[in-house]
Amino acid sequence: MSVNELFKKELKVINMGLESFYEELRSQDVETIHVDWKPAAGGDKKMASLLGRLKGL
Amino acid sequence: MIQSIVRKNAYYDSVTLMLISREMKSMEGVEEVLVGMGTELNLDLVRNLNMFDANLEDVTPNDLFIAAKFNEELVTMEQLVNSFDEQINRKKEASAGDYRPPTLRSAIDHLGGANLVQISIPGQYAAEEAEAALKAGLHVMMFSDNVSIKDELRLKQLAVEKGLLMMGPDCGTAIINGVPLCFANVVSKGRIGLVGASGTGTQEITVRIDQLGEGLSQVIGTGGRDLREEIGGLMMIQGIEALLKDPETDVIVLVSKPPHPTVEKKIVDLVKQANKPVVIDFIGGDAASIIAAGATPCVSLEDAARKAVALLRGEKVEDFDGFDAPEEEIEKLVSNAFSTLSADQKYLRALYTGGTLADEAIKYLGENYPIYSNIPLTPDRALANLGGLEGHICLDLGEDEFTRGRPHPMIDPLTRTEFFKTHVDGSTAVVLVDVVIGYGSHENPAGAVADSVRDARARLKEEGKNLVVVASVTGTDKDPQDLRQSIASLEQAGVIVMPSNAQAVRLVDLIMEKMSA
């Protein structure tokens, strides 16, 4: 969807990260969903990069 | 006593944890407390506070820890942990029942027709998620910082290729289809479109447009590095092109720090072809190329708003470098303020939470006075060179050096409250502050400033001294904190509230001029 097409649509937001941003969208009745995000591979950088490479395959 | 506990595989976002830490710190008997995820940065903070113990040795970024230094006669670790649980459960209850998918992919599947992803996860993970979002055809607003410039370029190139917005990294403000994202105000819908590379600069322009009785069609953020040579203004150009094509937009405003010359040329060339009036505030930048492109340059953020409104209404466009109030009223305000000061009160303390607003102040006042700062105009005016408090100081308290391990001062006023205590003394004549309200910001920043002012006044009263405090509020009467209420609580504390940052800065300049005469 191009930028100009987006301008004509109702905004529907996926929030990843600060929960306060999600709560504020919800308080404005914006359709939104909050991702229960956690660092990949428990934050282990080496494992995360391996996972990243696997996903790229 | 120093103690810590670790909860394996319990993830909470940093702002939530920092705010809870702060509440716990105010408990009786608690000297210091840090609640965080086991990242290297957080563990460094624990070490710096001498609270590191054996419990924390195997902690990972996916584990939650609570480290505390406390007086065991007054409080126990158990009570601290209970307080944490109570606060986190209160938060959980507030959003109970909402489904929270574990990944971006499952969120896309669950929320039919999602069109934008707002990302504020730690920087080292943010680029990968943004790339996945763009590849899935979604526009991205990225608040996260600490993303490499190489990743930013790659993401923005991908966005341009797919015709999408990649707002950020480090993008704090946007209003898309009337929805304020991250740090933004509730403004009227209208026919002025804006593309901004500076968050509080964008907020200041949009609220002034709203106050002048007009509104915004779209507000696109780019992130602060977009106009650097390496990025080449990819998102500002994408934004301008979209606004040029948008039938709801009649006037375009661009705001940024001065771009790299090669990027400026690209933007100016595009603006030359524009069939809509364009107002440009390259804060402190050169006006010549803007004029040559047939666009309108500005002398302040407020001036940008006024010119955009004038162009929209077909009115005469002229620089606004004065005041809303009549000259006599301003003169009276200045002499009244001056008359309350003692001869040994000489210095300015400008304590800003908004980076672009601080920048606007320092560029204006720095022309006439030596202003020491963490964002100095010249290296010799770096705050470290001042040493003590005998000089004029203007600080951007949102810079990294002041936000390590604590929320940005727009989210939590604590940093500024502390600076009021340490940097406002008997030699201070004038304090200048910004109060930024709107979504993203603290629930009552004006109240926090009012408390600090009362506290400082009480301290100075013991020396038989007064204090002049000048503020402006970046907000609208539709914001959750309410503009009028914010102004009222500042005025009750004796703060002079000006209608814009530019007018607050100019008033301070007049008071300082009188002081040095």
Write down the pLDDT at residue B96: 65
| Range of weakest confidence among A32-41, B183-192, B491-500 | A32-41
DSSP, collapsed to helix, strand or coil, labels residue B118 as: strand
Rounded-to-integer distance, Cα B243 and Cα B308, Å: 14
Closest of B418, B300, B304, B402 to residue B357, by C-alpha: B300
Residue the block writes with tokens 């506290």? B455
Rounded-to-integer distance, Cα B84 and Cα B479, Å: 30
Q: How many CB atoms lie within 10 A of CB B120?
A: 25
Q: Let me know if the fold of B103-170 is the same as that of B171-321.
A: yes
Rounded-to-integer distance, Cα B55 and Cα B448, Å: 37
Please state whether the peptide bond connecting residue B169 to the residue before it is cis, i.e. omega within 30 degrees of 0: yes
Instruction: Report yes or no: B404 and B146 within 8 Å, Cβ to Cβ.
Output: no
Write down the pLDDT at residue A53: 55
Instruction: Report yes or no: B405 and B18 within 8 Å, Cβ to Cβ.
Output: yes
Give mean pLDDT, residues B319-328: 97
Rounded-to-integer distance, Cα B184 and Cα B369, Å: 32
Rounded-to-integer distance, Cα A3 and Cα B133, Å: 15
Closest of B122, B16, B28 to residue B68, by C-alpha: B28
Identify from B13, B124, B161 which residue to disrupt to test chain A contact, counting A C-beta atoms within 10 A and taking the largest count: B13
Write down the pLDDT at residue B401: 87
- The answer, yes or no, to whether residue B433 has pLDDT greater than 80, is yes
Reported ipTM: the value is 0.88
Give mean pLDDT, residues B228-239: 98
Half-sphere exposure of residue B397: CA atoms within 13 angstroms, side-chain side:
27
**Helices (H), strands (E): how many in chain B?**
19, 19
Return the residue of B nearest to A13 by Cα. B116
Q: Which residues of A touch B191 (CB under 8 A)?
A: none
Please state the CATH superfamily assignment of the domain spanning residues B327-516 in this structure: Succinyl-CoA synthetase domains (3.40.50.261)
**Buried (b) or exposed (e) across B41-69, using 16+ Cβ within 10 A?**
ebbebbeebebbeeebeebbbbbbbbbbe
Interface of A with B (CB under 8 A): 1-4, 6-7, 9-28, 30-40, 42-45, 48, 52
User: Which positions 48-107 of B are in contact with A (Cβ < 8 Å)?
Assistant: 60-62, 91, 94-95, 98-104, 107
Fold classified for B103-170: Rossmann fold (3.40.50)
With an 8 Å Cβ cutoff, is B179 touching chain A? yes
**What share of chain B in percent tops pLDDT 70?**
99
User: Which positions 455-494 of B are in contact with A (Cβ < 8 Å)?
Assistant: 480
Residues B54-111 have pLDDT tens digits of 999 999 888 999 999 999 999 999 999 999 999 888 877 776 678 899 999 999 999 9
Q: How many CB atoms lie within 10 A of CB B407?
A: 22
Of B103, B110, B128, nearest to A52 by CB-CB distance is B128
Helix or strand (DSSP H, E) at B202: helix B199-211
Rounded-to-integer distance, Cα B25 and Cα B35, Å: 10
Give the domain ranges of chain B: 2-94, 103-170, 171-321, 327-516
Rounded-to-integer distance, Cα B320 and Cα B503, Å: 10
Instruction: Report yes or no: B500 and B472 within 8 Å, Cβ to Cβ.
Output: yes
| Strand pairing report for B173-176 and B179-182 | antiparallel
Residue the block writes with tokens 């797919």? B162
Give mean pLDDT, residues B160-165: 98
CB contact under 8 A, B60 and A24: no
Helix or strand (DSSP H, E) at B371: strand B371-373
Closest of B195, B91, B117, B206 to residue B437, by C-alpha: B206
Write down the pLDDT at residue B495: 98
Write down the pLDDT at residue B16: 85
Please state the CATH superfamily assignment of the domain spanning residues B171-321 in this structure: Succinyl-CoA synthetase domains (3.40.50.261)
Closest of B182, B171, B95, B119 to residue A37, by C-alpha: B119
Write down the pLDDT at residue A50: 57
- The answer, yes or no, to whether residue B407 has pLDDT greater than 80, is yes
- The answer, yes or no, to whether residue B44 has pLDDT greater than 80, is yes
Helix or strand (DSSP H, E) at B459: helix B445-461
Class of B2-94 in CATH: alpha beta
> Token digits for B450?
């009012």
Rounded-to-integer distance, Cα A18 and Cα B434, Å: 24
How many residues comprise chain B?
A: 517
- Contacts of B157-162 with C-beta under 8 Å, sequence gap 24+, read B157/B234, B158/B131, B158/B134, B159/B134, B159/B234, B159/B235, B159/B238, B160/B234, B160/B238, B162/B134, B162/B137
Instruction: Report yes or no: B225 and B142 within 8 Å, Cβ to Cβ.
Output: no
Closest of B89, B84, B71 to residue B18, by C-alpha: B84
Strand blocks (E) in B414-517: 428-436, 468-474, 496-498
